[in-house]
Homo-oligomer: A and B are copies of this chain.
Amino acid sequence: MKIGFIGLGKMGKAIAGRLVGAGHQVRVWNRSPKPVQELVAKGAEAAAQPADAARADFLVTMLANDDAVRAVVINQGVLDAATPGLIHLNLATVSVALAEEFAELHRKRNLGYVAAPVFGRPEAAAEGKLNIVVAGDSATIERAQPVLSIIGQKTWPVGDRAERANAVKIAGNFMIASAIETMGEAVALTRAHGIDASEFLNILTSTLFAAPIYKLYGAMIASEKYQPAGFAAALGLKDIRLAMAAADAHSVPMPFASTLRDSFMELVATGGAENDWAALAQLAARRAGLDRRG
């Protein structure tokens, strides 16, 4: 199959690599040239313009945020250049509002649109172990399944309205941030009582909280290493803003999300924008003066 691919950040590069590896004809575009060259070395073709990626059976996009999606896909005529019958899989974490708008733009052009945000970090992407939440027309999703199966270990359909997949993704990211903050506060409390973070977290993440997210971020918090960032605090702030915008649209009070927003802003305002978002735990320790207590 012919697949166009736009957006070769850490996640995008890993995913596009899998599609190439599976033997598909993949045409890639990225703002900066380096990852394009890497993919071409593996057998992909370089697209001169974003619109060139849309001359395909499938278009897969993995862009950083709403602004990037607007700048590349909408403003550079990608949809207008699309091969009739194209199915667009949008893997990015974008706003609920943009998902609605996007679905409509495809509908008008008779193109397929599947909102397909993913859970998982780059290592999982490289192994095809992502979890993909999908929403859109069910026949379209069925046709896209062969592509989705290369990308993820499982596809989770949540209905035909595209924005629902984004709402699930946004709510899921809120849950991750919330788990980090929770561990951060719990560790600050127990450290103040003389208990090592690793000792405390080992107990909880081996028992009640034996879940991938708690193990992953628990280890990061115990080691107090927030560089290099797997997912930066600035992106955490972006995602909490998405949650709050989605909540705003339906007047859903979310006090934990509000607290997370303030804490991410504090991280960003005090020089920590590029630390991993797990640095919420560092902030919790700093507020308790634990860095001063030796």
CB pair A258 B258 closer than 8 Å: yes
- Asked whether A194 is an interface residue with its Cβ less than 8 Å from the other chain, the reply is yes
* Mask of A251-282 contacts with B, CB within 8 angstroms, 1/0: 11111111101110110111100000000000
The distance from the CB of A172 to the nearest CB of chain B, in whole angstroms, is: 6
Cross-chain contact of A168 among B200, B212, B259, B270 (Cβ < 8 A)? B200
Instruction: Give chain B residues whose Cβ lies under 8 Å from the Cβ of A176.
Output: 208
Of A186, A195, A243, A248, most buried by chain B (CB within 10 Å of CB) is A186
User: Secondary structure at chain A's binding surface: helix, strand, loop or mixed?
Assistant: helix
Cross-chain contact of A269 among B172, B186, B289 (Cβ < 8 A)? B289
* Mask of A128-161 contacts with B, CB within 8 angstroms, 1/0: 0001010000000000000000000010101101
Instruction: Give chain B residues whose Cβ lies under 8 Å from the Cβ of A154.
Output: 207
CB pair B269 A185 closer than 8 Å: no
Instruction: Give chain B residues whose Cβ lies under 8 Å from the Cβ of A171.
Output: 186-187, 189-190, 200
Of A96, A179, A251, most buried by chain B (CB within 10 Å of CB) is A251
- Asked whether A199 is an interface residue with its Cβ less than 8 Å from the other chain, the reply is yes
Extra contacts, 9 of them, besides A174-B185, A174-B186, A241-B248 (Cβ < 8 A), are A168-B190, A170-B189, A171-B186, A175-B182, A179-B209, A185-B254, A189-B252, A256-B259, A270-B289
List 27 contacting pairs A-B, 8 Å CB cutoff, sorted by A: A119-B208, A131-B208, A158-B199, A164-B194, A168-B203, A174-B185, A175-B208, A176-B208, A179-B182, A182-B182, A185-B254, A185-B257, A189-B247, A189-B252, A192-B247, A208-B213, A241-B248, A248-B265, A251-B265, A251-B288, A252-B265, A253-B266, A254-B262, A258-B258, A265-B288, A269-B289, A270-B286
